[in-house]
Structure 1
């Protein structure tokens, strides 16, 4: 599949699920909206109904990509309105000027060979992988990572949460103090299968399928998608809690209980760096049956060709002539 198409489809899906969420005003930040979105002076909230309308009015993904590839201003303005152009530019670039770009399991494996083996063995390999590109790494975070070392943590959640996570990172203000099983903080797992169990799949609605393109959804993307973010977490001895083989478990913020195997808890986002976004997809029953029929037909055709060209078939045909 075309990596840029999957990336564009993912960003549109993240935006769609957030805009149509019942908690959209907390998921889409008022200080990070496309320029055409007005603010309500009474409530201080963004008018997300306008964002919802422009998103729904976009042409299908194939047309968007085709006109963007031409790089011709006249075709661009004929296909997309100024508000839609602003919307796509806003989606593709994050507030800190970082971005997501298409990646692959092979690239992930080169950087994290041990973790890639774990993904394969636990049957947790994602369908698609995107990589975070940081335009300006934080020198203080670099120092912390170098001093304490890092581990790889996986975090699965509902799709509607990921537009905010991708664009702004985890929000410390959203930590529910006093409710954490192993303390208060942001939770990860070092086991991708554990994190995958927390991935909540989003059923693509008809209007979003129209936007992405039915052939793209049926053949590549899938009808239900879910995300898992992969982060490097500093192994800070007092502010990050994680189980380790040789020393029991680290005790986190102000003491407190230990932590279960495969779990990681960071007290602050300063110890967290986004590295990859995993996309998991599922097809509906009809598409799966169609795919099975196509694969079965292909195998039967190959078998027939092999049989016709086999020596036994040639001898059979030769004997039939006599």
Structure 2
């Protein structure tokens, strides 16, 4: 191929896309194969299946586990940790305490895949449930340039990591069938990081909206403006052994079926579309309120890593700065030949009487 006829960034992007496409295709094939073979697995084959999945898509598996542990350790775990691992259900009661204890013993996935045989069957069973049995949707780390709306994202809002969401074929086909010729709108959705495990597994659900989020009526709130969604996505503590940090903010990019009746927004062609049931007023520009869960599907997760703020020169040397200031004060007193009382009066003025 003649390199002179090809722009380097475009070629590089295509190479990335081809590489990741091949990798995730292999991963999906492996997941489907292992799902069909679980009952036939011997212990070593069971272990090999889990290790193979993690090696094939380590970053995707790590992010799923990070979302899982974040939901598990949330004060809202009863609501956020859905679905719940069946092996930790005791007579229908969720054994949160023992599940947390087990997860505290789980190493980083890099460490696990190097010596998987030393870890308990409970850990293997949890990994199998997360990465194979309940794997869909799958996560695949992809370059930022491959996502829709990337041209609308300013440098200040550019994510540190992007994960493409792969739904099972049945769900994808159903969504495309519902969309028909109505068209698709891409928009952002922000939420607390501990909500994203259930969001990933069940999709966005309007009944999860809280009262403070329903000023424009009930529904799933999305926006074409990233800064609006970012307001609803504060940083939260995640898995402390995650290789990409332990405090994150997540914003989803979603596909919305452009249904006039079920997706409320400003629309010059349909004036009544900007009024939602129980809304306090017209829906503003750049907002979408989806009143039917089936009209929206997650496509990407944009992950932001919380940056550590560096200490200023003053605060990192505060002890020595204090000594210098104290020395200068003594020097000033000595040179002026004034008493302590006069010095205090000089500093505080009218607040001190001599």
TM-score by length of 2: 0.64
Mapped partners of 2:312, 2:102: distance in 1: 33
Is 1:223–1:284's contact at 8 Å kept on the other side of the alignment?
Answer: no
Mapped partners of 2:110, 2:276: distance in 1: 49
Aligned counterpart for 2:98 among listed residues 50, 61, 77 = 50
Aligned counterpart for 2:282 among listed residues 252, 255, 258 = 258
Mapped partners of 1:141, 1:10: distance in 2: 25
Structure 2: gaps spanning 5 or more residues: 1-54, 314-354
CA change 1:193–1:36 in 2 (3 A) is: same
SS in 1 for 2:88: coil
Higher alpha-carbon deviation: 155-164 or 98-107? 98-107
Mapped partners of 1:287, 1:222: distance in 2: 19
Aligned counterpart for 1:241 among listed residues 264, 274, 286 = 264
Is 1:242–1:264's contact at 8 Å kept on the other side of the alignment?
Answer: yes
Which residue of 2 is the match for residue 162 of structure 1?
A: 196
Mapped partners of 1:116, 1:124: distance in 2: 10
Aligned counterpart for 1:34 among listed residues 85, 107, 119 = 85
Which residue of 1 is the match for residue 64 of structure 2?
A: 11
Mapped partners of 2:222, 2:75: distance in 1: 25
Higher alpha-carbon deviation: 183-192 or 97-106? 97-106
The C-alpha deviation readout for 1:84-105, integer Å capped at 9, x for no partner, is 1122222224748331112121
Is 2:185–2:255's contact at 8 Å kept on the other side of the alignment?
Answer: yes
Which residue of 1 is the match for residue 294 of structure 2?
A: 270
Which residue of 1 is the match for residue 143 of structure 2?
A: 104
Mapped partners of 2:233, 2:209: distance in 1: 19
Aligned counterpart for 1:229 among listed residues 233, 246, 252 = 252
Counterparts in 2 of 1:166-315, with a 5 A limit?
A: 166-176=200-210, 180-204=214-238, 208-209=239-240, 211-212=241-242, 216=243, 221-244=244-267, 250-251=273-274, 257-286=281-310
Aligned counterpart for 2:113 among listed residues 44, 65, 69 = 65
CA change 1:188–1:179 in 2 (3 A) is: closer
SS in 2 for 1:87: helix
Structure with the largest fraction of helix: 2
Which residue of 1 is the match for residue 3 of structure 2?
A: none
Mapped partners of 1:59, 1:91: distance in 2: 16
Q: Indicate the structure (1 or 2) with the bigger Cα radius of gyration.
A: 2
Cα RMSD (Å) = 3.0
Mapped partners of 1:189, 1:105: distance in 2: 19
How far the C-alpha of 1:83 sits from its partner, in A, is: 0.9
Give the count of matched residue pairs: 257
The C-alpha deviation readout for 1:238-282, integer Å capped at 9, x for no partner, is 111122466557245558543111111101111011100110012
Mapped partners of 2:289, 2:66: distance in 1: 28
Structure 1: gaps spanning 5 or more residues: 68-75, 290-322
How far the C-alpha of 1:18 sits from its partner, in A, is: 1.1
Is 1:3–1:103's contact at 8 Å kept on the other side of the alignment?
Answer: no
How far the C-alpha of 1:61 sits from its partner, in A, is: 2.9
Is 1:249–1:258's contact at 8 Å kept on the other side of the alignment?
Answer: no
How far the C-alpha of 1:59 sits from its partner, in A, is: 2.2
SS in 2 for 1:50: helix
Mapped partners of 1:50, 1:222: distance in 2: 25
Which residue of 1 is the match for residue 161 of structure 2?
A: 128
The C-alpha deviation readout for 1:100-128, integer Å capped at 9, x for no partner, is 112121221xxx3xx21101x36322110
CA change 1:173–1:183 in 2 (3 A) is: closer
